Amino acid sequence: MRWNESAGKPRPRTRHRALLTRYFGGVGPLTAIYASNEFLLEHDRGGRGGNRLVPEGLTLRLSGWASMDLFYMARSSHAVGHWSHDHIAGVVLKITL
């Protein structure tokens, strides 16, 4: 359930996500490849509200205490009779203390 401030009432919405990860050992710095997809159902509007390829990417081991994710995300949003699309690339640095 999502509260929509502009509508002043709750909007029933559900998220559905599938995730696929493939882990590697001994393939240089590459430790994993991952991809997931999420779609949203907006029940008060009677259908799909959006789709996100969130994200797909690679995990690289930099050292014994640091790794880095390189990812790409495509986000699609549905408004009345129209889909819009955004493309996002990013980097996440992970440090283990």
- How far apart CA 48 and CA 78 sit, in angstroms, is 7
List, for residues 10-47, the tens digit of each pLDDT value. Answer: 667 788 888 999 998 877 899 999 999 888 887 766 66
Residues 57/70, Cβ–Cβ less than 8 Å: yes
64 has a pLDDT exceeding 80:
yes
pTM: 0.65
Q: Looking at residues 66-81, what average pLDDT do you find?
A: 84
Q: Return the structure tokens found at 35.
A: 């991809």
Position 24, amino acid: F
More confident residue, 25 or 79: 25
Q: Looking at residues 74-89, what average pLDDT do you find?
A: 80
pLDDT at residue 6, as a whole number: 63
92 has a pLDDT exceeding 90:
yes
- How far apart CA 40 and CA 76 sit, in angstroms, is 10
Kindly state the greatest CA–CA separation across the chain. 54
DSSP 65: S
